Structure 1
Amino acid sequence: MFTSTIFRGVGRAVIRASALRSSPNTFNRAAFGAATRSFSVTSSARKDEKGEHGEYEKMLTGAKPGAAGDHEGSFSRTDKRIQVEYPEEADYPRGQPVQGRGGFHFKRTLASFSLEDKVAVVTGGARGLGLVMSQACVVSGADVAIVDLNKEEGERQAQLIMQTFKDENPGADLIPKVTAHYADVSDPESVKGTMAEIVESHGKVDHLVTSAGFTENFDAIQYPIDRVRKLWSVNVDGTYLWACEVAKHLMERKASGNIVMIGSMSGAIVNVPQPQAPYNAAKAAVRHLASSLAVEWAHAGIRVNVISPGYMLTALTKKILDENPELHRKWVSLIPQGKMGRPEDLMGAVTFLLSDAAEYITGADLRVDGGYTIT
């Protein structure tokens, strides 16, 4: 008896590759619904299973016997026609602090989630995911040093974050200290100098969030090697250099601390339809770097973890999707929750991993992806 018990093992792949396949560029809702309704399959669907190519095979492939068309597997392929370059500084859209997430409240929660009396460094903290996580640290009680290639934007955001905190916490005695610092995260001397500047300003560093990074979309064969090297140096070298600098500082102080590296679900899966092989490899490197350093620095009380976001609607992503609406439709069709994430969905995740609430968690990869990587 061929039952749905067996079919569950292949059902998801079948629905994605076959029921959604009507066109590489069209989401066939009717076919998806039919495939879902057909989830329970019995032997009656295989009446001619003794033949070389039976009805059951047709149901799985949707193709004539032995003649798979171009549409087969199209939803799991990259498309080399998609090409997106990371924008220049002047073209990067500005973000704003999240409203309504203010600090003091009277709902019960674990005291161990607090980041009071801590100093957190957030690289790439002037925009995108880094900006929201900078604010999360402030809301949770920490002082923050924003590190960014664009110091002017960093200073602007530092002022906005502090003003937002004041507006949402009138009469607060303690106002968080948020500073902005320039650094080229891929340059060891720049990282070292900026770290010294932060320590002079804040007195210490307890936590690090490595959010500096970027992605581009090029067919691998056509990707300019100088851009590949730049991508790798920012995403991987920058993460490694800052982690080492902060770990060294903590060890010299004989203090415990936490490092959260911002990876990506791309470090575990291959995104489609946009081609981005170097970025995927870079984020896989970040994920394993975190695991390795978690082991290496555990003796010093330094925890190292990774947050791997899925598709997030940052200001830059919104700009890209406004110009490529078909890309948005394809992405969302593969997310079980049926929607893209908001940058503020990372606020709880980063606060948790930096806080004492995660004291026994190190080397972990926390995926915030709406379920994308489990289907």
Structure 2
Amino acid sequence: MSAASFPTIEFRSPTNPAPIPTLPPNPNERAIARFSLHGKKAIVTGGARSLGLSSATALLEHGLTVLCILDSNLANAQATTGDLVALFIQARIIFKQLDVADEVRVKEAVGWAVDTMDGVDVLLCAAGIAGVKDSLEIGGDEWKRMLDVNLNGSFFCAQAVAKSMIARQTPGSIIFIASISGHTTNFPQPQVSYNVSKAGVIHMTHSLAVEWAKYNIRVNSISPGYMDTAMNEGEHLDEAKKIWFVRTPRARMGSKEELSGCVVLLASQAGSFMTGADLIVDGGTTLI
């Protein structure tokens, strides 16, 4: 590659820094405005269930005006949208079926969502899969699918949304759901493909935060620990949970609600100077 064609990362100029958000002078109004999402539009992948759904609900609770749920399960997306519409009558809520691993479909879905909503301010990438299997037994298709959904799918969605934000010259916040599995080796369950996919998400967060800062797009991630979700239900996990609890200073799994506050922080003005951060929400597990 010649020097003339070698791409380089550019930062904003000190003479044209990222804008500082303004808040109302009244203390009560300022407290509300700091975490308000009034007038904002968001896309949530994997938003029809689990952490995606609880996070989407929290965004609506804080005043989100328009929400688009993208989920691989059409029935779940339809049911979830109906429930949310009944709860948040002031908001506009739409949905579309999407496998985030399909790059072409991602571009189509994001384009449809942005056109329908007339823009987007927040992207939450919560779509993901998990698996437990000995590393010597993992097949190529299994390995590829894990990375396709968790890592590649997150990138495809972020790239498509960022291009829209840049084209419209609007600031934005992109949030990835990573995992403590990207920081440490899970135990006792063997999850090498999952661990690798989430480690990739965390470093992708760092890289995109640097590249897209000049466009006033913030990129952050959240790394949950062991959470009380459908993924961690079932008697087959009883013995593993005993080990998880012993290795967690808080001695329990986290609730979905304990993650949604971080999502609101990163989506709102309260997190306006945060980019490239990975918020670990694990009850202290990674400290041991």
- Could you tell me the TM-score, scaled by structure 2's length? 0.87
User: For residue 163 of structure 1, what is the aligned residue in structure 2?
Assistant: 86
Q: Distance in 2 between matches of 1:327 and 1:241?
A: 34
- The 8 Å contact of residues 155 and 179 in structure 1, kept in 2 or not, is answered as no
Structure-2 change in CA distance of 1:131 and 1:278 (3 Å): same
Tell me by how many angstroms 1:195 deviates.
Answer: 1.0
Structure-2 change in CA distance of 1:107 and 1:342 (3 Å): farther
User: For residue 11 of structure 2, what is the aligned residue in structure 1?
Assistant: none
- The 8 Å contact of residues 114 and 164 in structure 2, kept in 1 or not, is answered as no
Q: Deviations over 1:194-226 (max 9, x none)?
A: 012112321111110001111100010011221
- Structure 1 residue 182 corresponds to structure 2 residue 97: yes
Runs of 4+ in 1 over 6 A off after TM superposition: none
User: For residue 203 of structure 1, what is the aligned residue in structure 2?
Assistant: 118
User: For residue 362 of structure 1, what is the aligned residue in structure 2?
Assistant: 275
- Structure 1 residue 145 corresponds to structure 2 residue 68: yes
Q: Distance in 2 between matches of 1:248 and 1:165?
A: 29
Which structure 2 segments of 5+ residues have no match? 1-27
User: For residue 228 of structure 2, what is the aligned residue in structure 1?
Assistant: 313
Equivalence map 1:234-249=2 (5 Å): 234-249=149-164
Q: Distance in 1 between matches of 2:236 and 2:247?
A: 20
Q: Distance in 2 between matches of 1:315 and 1:163?
A: 24
User: For residue 99 of structure 1, what is the aligned residue in structure 2?
Assistant: none
Q: Distance in 2 between matches of 1:336 and 1:161?
A: 35
Tell me by how many angstroms 1:318 deviates.
Answer: 1.8
Query: What is the CA RMSD across the aligned residues, in angstroms?
Result: 1.4
| RCO higher in structure (CA 8 A, sep ≥6) | 2
Equivalence map 1:288-367=2 (5 Å): 288-319=203-234, 322-367=235-280
Q: Distance in 1 between matches of 2:186 and 2:224?
A: 13
- Structure 1 residue 118 corresponds to structure 2 residue 40: yes
The letter for the 2-side match of 1:209 is L
Q: Deviations over 1:208-253 (max 9, x none)?
A: 0001111100010011221111011000100100000000000001
Which structure 1 segments of 5+ residues have no match? 1-105, 167-174
The letter for the 2-side match of 1:146 is I
- The 8 Å contact of residues 258 and 354 in structure 1, kept in 2 or not, is answered as yes
- The 8 Å contact of residues 131 and 191 in structure 2, kept in 1 or not, is answered as yes
Q: Distance in 1 between matches of 2:215 and 2:275?
A: 13
- Identity value in percent: 39
Q: Deviations over 1:293-348 (max 9, x none)?
A: 000000000000010000001123223xx333111111111100111001111111
User: For residue 56 of structure 1, what is the aligned residue in structure 2?
Assistant: none
Q: Distance in 1 between matches of 2:30 and 2:43?
A: 28
Q: Distance in 2 between matches of 1:144 and 1:342?
A: 23
Larger radius of gyration: 1
User: For residue 71 of structure 1, what is the aligned residue in structure 2?
Assistant: none
Tell me by how many angstroms 1:162 deviates.
Answer: 2.4
Q: Distance in 2 between matches of 1:331 and 1:164?
A: 35
More moved, 224-233 vs 196-205: 196-205
The letter for the 1-side match of 2:229 is T
More moved, 219-228 vs 287-296: 219-228
Structure-2 change in CA distance of 1:371 and 1:355 (3 Å): same
